[in-house]
């Protein structure tokens, strides 16, 4: 009995073989044909044909043979991360930051613009457009070269990319951010909560690369949180997972005000963005009033942290956001508070990525989306 295979079946088979080769090269880096065949469990001739097709399409390149081995050096193949670009955006109350990266998520160029929470929606969207233009121009990237874009924004964001609620930015609730960016960029556009993207960045490229489950605390003049479970950001049924900061029991939205209370000698005359740094510096020096102010703040932070920790039992809690620069001041008292509340106190650490964390997370999210949509043989 002979099995008939039509042209459509052969085309689909070649596509699957090509995607299998791409997935192997993306996961394990450059390798010679024999190793690639072993890795993909495909026949060597099949892998060779797939590599030839991918080279013609610009997704794979042949590398110069590596020296040092006896006999004829084997040709190696690599994934062409430079074949396209992804764009990551961090749209916050005080800054807009854009990052252009290659298809492996390596950031190539950054552009930023300071903004204020008082900007109108249209003013903020215009600033977003300016930063996108500056980042693409600065990196020499044409619009058509951007394969996917992800924007991170403060607030509760639904699964359609709409800003449902934002307490940190005036006139931002209800903004159809995904629609606005889709009109500007000829590629898939996704919008995600900034804390969730920051958590993803720490998991992929920052302080939490060795763990599967973590809680990320986005602490600063505003507060937020996010959870990574089994390496995946937890979104929930509507995108509201991790929004513990809006609960009145924890009062995280105004918890940073506790740093200013009771220390007028230190904070008098300072701009709002300077207050926390001054209090933390004084606490480092052991000044009693500032130490007390930090402890007041930590007690509020610990309640929210404990609620999330008792729910998901993370291996690690990462302190991120603007206050992460004071992790050395905060971690000791926070750990002590958690030890009195939690069944098992998780490890605490500060962010490794700083203010670029959300944009880096947006890049990682864009790469994940492309992996799922374009480079997944089972899709």
Please tell me whether residues 181 and 128 are part of one structural domain: yes
Please tell me whether residues 254 and 336 are part of one structural domain: yes
For 233-273, the pLDDT digits (tens) are 998 888 888 777 677 666 665 666 778 777 877 877 777 77
Please tell me whether residues 156 and 274 are part of one structural domain: no
Please tell me whether residues 29 and 153 are part of one structural domain: no
Please tell me whether residues 182 and 231 are part of one structural domain: no
Average pLDDT over residues 46-70: 81
What is the model's pLDDT at position 68? Answer: 52
Q: Which domain holds residue 263?
A: 210-352
Residue listed under structure tokens 């090509």: 18
Q: Is residue 347 part of a domain?
A: yes
Cβ count near 326 (within 10 Å): 21
DSSP 255: G
What is the model's pLDDT at position 3? Answer: 31
220-224, 315-319, 340-344: which range is least confident on average? 220-224
Domain count across the chain: 3
Q: Is residue 311 part of a domain?
A: yes
Please tell me whether residues 295 and 324 are part of one structural domain: yes
DSSP 269: T
Please tell me whether residues 121 and 216 are part of one structural domain: no
Please tell me whether residues 151 and 27 are part of one structural domain: no
Please tell me whether residues 341 and 229 are part of one structural domain: yes
- Can you give the pTM of this predicted structure? 0.87
Query: Tokens for 6?
Result: 């039509």
CATH number of residue 247's parent domain: 3.30.420.40
What is the model's pLDDT at position 1? Answer: 25
Q: Is residue 205 part of a domain?
A: no
Distance between CA atoms of residues 165 and 144, nearest Å:
32
Q: Is residue 68 part of a domain?
A: yes
Average pLDDT over residues 119-137: 97
Q: Is residue 2 part of a domain?
A: no
CA distances to 128, 152, 167, 299 from 171, rounded to whole Å, are: 15, 17, 9, 32
Cβ count near 108 (within 10 Å): 16
Domain boundary among 79, 114, 138: 79
Domain boundary among 55, 79, 103: 79
Q: Is residue 378 part of a domain?
A: no
Please tell me whether residues 69 and 91 are part of one structural domain: no
Domain boundary among 28, 57, 79: 79
pLDDT band at 9 (very low <50, low <70, confident <90, very high): low
What is the model's pLDDT at position 73? Answer: 66
Q: Is residue 245 part of a domain?
A: yes
Question: Among candidates 203, 222, 229, which has minimal Cα distance to 311?
Answer: 229
Strand order in the sheet with 76-79: 31-32, 76-79, 60-63
Return the half-sphere exposure (C-beta side, CA atoms, 13 A cut-off) of residue 263: 26
What is the model's pLDDT at position 186? Answer: 93
Average pLDDT over residues 95-115: 96
Q: Is residue 278 part of a domain?
A: yes
Average pLDDT over residues 27-35: 87
Residue listed under structure tokens 């070269």: 145
Distance between CA atoms of residues 173 and 166, nearest Å:
5
Please tell me whether residues 236 and 177 are part of one structural domain: no
CATH number of residue 43's parent domain: 1.10.10.10
Please tell me whether residues 347 and 232 are part of one structural domain: yes
| 75 pLDDT above the threshold of 50 | yes
């Amino acid at each position: 009995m002979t099995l008939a295979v039509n042209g459509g079946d052969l085309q689909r088979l070649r596509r699957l073989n090509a995607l299998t080769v791409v997935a192997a090269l993306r996961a394990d880096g450059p390798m010679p044909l024999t190793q690639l065949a072993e890795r993909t469990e495909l026949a060597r001739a099949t892998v060779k044909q797939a590599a030839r097709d991918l080279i013609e399409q610009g997704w794979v390149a042949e590398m110069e043979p590596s020296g040092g081995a006896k006999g004829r050096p084997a040709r190696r193949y690599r994934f062409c991360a430079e074949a396209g670009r992804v764009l990551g955006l961090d749209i916050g109350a005080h800054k807009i930051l854009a990052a252009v990266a290659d298809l492996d998520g390596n950031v190539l160029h950054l552009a930023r613009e300071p903004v204020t929470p008082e900007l109108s929606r249209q003013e903020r969207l215009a600033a977003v457009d300016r930063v996108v233009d500056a980042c693409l121009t600065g990196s020499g990237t044409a619009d058509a070269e951007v394969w996917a874009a992800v924007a991170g924004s403060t607030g509760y964001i639904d699964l359609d990319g709409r800003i449902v609620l934002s307490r940190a930015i005036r006139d931002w609730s209800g903004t159809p951010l995904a629609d606005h960016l889709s009109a500007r960029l000829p590629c898939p556009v996704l919008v995600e909560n900034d804390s969730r993207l920051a958590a993803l960045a720490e998991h992929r490229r920052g302080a939490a690369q060795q763990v599967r489950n973590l809680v990320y605390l986005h602490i600063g003049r505003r507060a937020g949180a996010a959870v990574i479970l089994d390496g995946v950001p937890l979104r929930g049924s509507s995108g509201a997972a991790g929004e513990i900061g809006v609960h009145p029991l924890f009062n995280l939205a105004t918890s940073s005000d506790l740093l200013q209370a009771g220390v007028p000698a230190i904070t008098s005359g300072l701009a709002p963005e300077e207050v926390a740094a001054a209090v933390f510096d004084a606490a480092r020096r052991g000044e009693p009033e500032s130490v007390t102010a930090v402890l007041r703040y930590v007690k509020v932070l610990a309640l929210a942290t404990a609620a999330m920790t008792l729910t998901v039992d993370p291996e690690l809690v990462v302190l991120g956001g603007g206050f992460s620069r004071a992790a050395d001041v905060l971690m000791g008292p926070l750990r002590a508070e958690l030890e009195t509340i939690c069944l098992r106190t998780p490890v605490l650490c500060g962010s490794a990525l700083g203010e670029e964390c959300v944009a880096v997370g947006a890049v990682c999210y864009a790469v994940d989306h492309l992996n799922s949509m374009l480079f997944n043989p089972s899709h």
